[in-house]
Structure 1
Amino acid sequence: MTVQDIRAFNRFYTNLIGALDYSRHLYAPYTLTESRVLYELAHSPRTDAADLRTALSLDSGYLSRILTKFEQDGLVERAPSAQDPRRRRITLTARGRETAALLAERSNEAVGSLLSAVPTADRPRLAEAMRTVREILSRGDDKEHKDVLLREPGPGDLGWIVQRNAALYAAEFGWNTDYEGLVARIVADFAEDHDPHLERVWIAELDGRPVGCVMCVRDEAPATARLRLLLVEPDARGLGIGDRLIGAVVDFARGVGYRDLVLWTNDVLAAARRLYQRHGFVLTAEKPHRSFGKDLVGQDWRLDLHTTHE
């Protein structure tokens, strides 16, 4: 393969997706780069200017101008980071989320139209070819978190949460189908009736495939949210994904005005419990019980969201 081969492919693909044709209005009134910044802000729960600059390899001055434009348009808010006052935290406003969702919808429609011309039998081969390109061209990059994306669930992802929870807990702890039934009810309740302003699900995606999840839902107690169904696939552990998923829930719950964040777990889940403690959760009660075909010790944990955990 030569440089010219890659350049030829680039010309082919940018023309195919219409990246050079602004008459298609995919990103209007924003440029492709501005739309990508909005995408990152919509899918990264904790983002500051330095994160964006690194993730997108943007010049700091250029990024600053983009963020200033977004602020003037009412799409973002900027404030000192709670973790490091020297850094500026960037968050989308309600209008910003709506704009990001509109741009995502346009892109999805465009790609859907493109895929409609691809025979069903050829789609697995196309997906594998795209994964191969990404894998080969990503070699040598020492940013281990580079391809980890936290995103909202798409079609089929809620079913994936049920299936993977059932399979992993059966394999690792011997839990029976009672646990699968519990997860299915939790997920079904969310799918059928949830407030998108106060409840949310995150899917962790690595190299184009889901490798983790977590859920934030309203609790029965006033001003209280509940963290549920934290999961990270075995081959994706050690990359900080569980820490990021919990951080996403904490930031979201605090941002929408919950006072407390609670969760229920079992003492056998030692790795998860260490993560909860790292984020400031405090054990408030524990009780032996017989569930999922095993003798377990259930634990209740609580985080005061009015207290900043260092």
Structure 2
Amino acid sequence: MSVHEIRAFNRFYTNLIGALDYGKHLYTPYTLTESRVLYELAHSPRTDAADLRAELSLDAGYLSRLLGKFERDELVERAPSEADPRRQRITLTPRGREAAALLDERSRRAVGTLLDGVPEPERKRLAEAMRTVREVLSDTRPDGVPEPVLRDPGPGDLGWIVQRHGALYAAEYGWNTEFEGLVAKIVADFAQGRDPSRERVWIAELDGRPVGSVMCVRDDAPYTARLRLLLVEPEAREHGLGDRLVRTAVDFARGAGYRDMVLWTNDVLHSARRIYQRAGFTLVAEKPHRSYGAELVGQDWRLPLREPPLQEGQTP
């Protein structure tokens, strides 16, 4: 393959997706670079300015000016990183998440329109060709394995969460459809009454297909978030994806102002429990029960996210 062929492909594809006129193409006020920064802030667990700069290969001064613009538009907030005060942590505001979600929706719609003109038998060939390009040219992972992407759910993804929970837990633990019904209720409650600024669900995608999920919702207790529906497909478990999903939900809960995060699980879910322990959760209660056609021990786990505010008369 010659340099000329690669450059010809780049010109063809750039014109095809309208990247040279990105704002007009997706009807947004953001440039391609600005949109990419919003995307990374919405989907990546690494939100320090230094991580953004490295991930997107941006000049430090340019990124600082871009983030300053976002801050003036009330799309992001900047603060010292909790892990390292020398680093600057960037967090999307509710308005910023709305902007990122709108960009994602319009981008998906644009790609869908592009695929409408591709016959069904050719779509598989197109996907395989694109995967080959990524694998050959990717240097993000030493073993050549693509990195899973965390994203908001699209059409059909909530149903996928229900179906895969039912199928996987039946295959791995022998649970009956009672469990699938519970997952369906959790998903339906989320879809019908969620608060976007304080509740989210993430889909992990690998090679264009969903391979995992996790959810953060409000708990009945004040200022408490609940972690739910953590799932990773067997073929994606070597990526450390479970840890990444939980960290992402915890970071979101902390940024949304929750003081604690809790979860309920069962003693037989050994791999999930190890993930929760690595994230800092501690076991606070256990109770035997019979559910899903099995004898189980339910467990409550808790993670403090921040210290409660001082009451009147208290001293630090």
> TM > 0.5 between the two?
yes
- Alignment CA distance shift 1:54-1:89 (3 Å): same
Q: 2:313: which partner in 1?
A: none
Secondary structure at 2:118 match in 1: coil
Question: How much does 1:100 deviate?
Answer: 2.3
Q: Which amino acid aligns with 1:14?
A: T
CA contact (8 A) 2:286 2:300 kept: yes
Q: 2:90: which partner in 1?
A: 90
CA contact (8 A) 2:224 2:259 kept: yes
**In the alignment, is residue 8 of structure 1 matched against residue 18 of structure 2?**
no
- Alignment CA distance shift 1:23-1:204 (3 Å): closer
Residue identity over aligned pairs, in percent, reads 75
Question: How much does 1:68 deviate?
Answer: 2.5
**In the alignment, is residue 304 of structure 1 matched against residue 304 of structure 2?**
yes
Q: What are the within-5 Å matches in structure 2 for residues 103-252 of structure 1?
A: 103-138=103-138, 141-142=141-142, 147-252=147-252
Cα deviation digits, residues 152-186 of structure 1 (max 9, x gap):
11111111111211222122222222211221221
Q: How far apart in 1 are the matches of 2:83 and 2:23? A: 43
Number of aligned pairs?
A: 308
Cα deviation digits, residues 84-110 of structure 1 (max 9, x gap):
112111111233223323333432333
Q: TM-score, normalised by structure 1?
A: 0.90
Q: How far apart in 1 are the matches of 2:179 and 2:102? A: 37
Secondary structure at 2:239 match in 1: coil
Question: How much does 1:58 deviate?
Answer: 2.3
- Alignment CA distance shift 1:172-1:106 (3 Å): closer
List alignment gaps of at least 5 residues for structure 2: 309-316
Question: How much does 1:139 deviate?
Answer: 6.1
Cα deviation digits, residues 281-303 of structure 1 (max 9, x gap):
12111111222222111111112
Considering only aligned residues, what root-mean-square deviation do their CA atoms show, in Å? 2.4
- Alignment CA distance shift 1:249-1:145 (3 Å): farther
CA contact (8 A) 1:144 1:239 kept: no
Q: How far apart in 2 are the matches of 1:164 and 1:65? A: 43
Q: 1:254: which partner in 2?
A: 254
Following superposition, which runs of at least 4 residues in structure 1 exceed 4 angstroms of deviation? 143-146
User: Which stretch has the larger CA shift, 9-18 or 216-225?
Assistant: 216-225
Question: How much does 1:306 deviate?
Answer: 1.6
CA contact (8 A) 1:283 1:300 kept: yes
Q: TM-score, normalised by structure 2?
A: 0.88
- Alignment CA distance shift 1:33-1:146 (3 Å): farther
Question: How much does 1:144 deviate?
Answer: 7.7
Question: How much does 1:46 deviate?
Answer: 4.1
Q: 1:273: which partner in 2?
A: 273
Q: How far apart in 2 are the matches of 1:75 and 1:167? A: 39
Question: How much does 1:193 deviate?
Answer: 2.4
Secondary structure at 1:118 match in 2: coil
Q: 2:48: which partner in 1?
A: 48
List alignment gaps of at least 5 residues for structure 1: none
Q: How far apart in 1 are the matches of 2:37 and 2:306? A: 30
Secondary structure at 2:20 match in 1: coil
User: Which stretch has the larger CA shift, 58-67 or 154-163?
Assistant: 58-67
Q: Which amino acid aligns with 2:110?
A: A
User: Which stretch has the larger CA shift, 138-147 or 37-46?
Assistant: 138-147
Q: 1:71: which partner in 2?
A: 71
CA contact (8 A) 1:227 1:262 kept: yes
- Alignment CA distance shift 1:139-1:47 (3 Å): closer
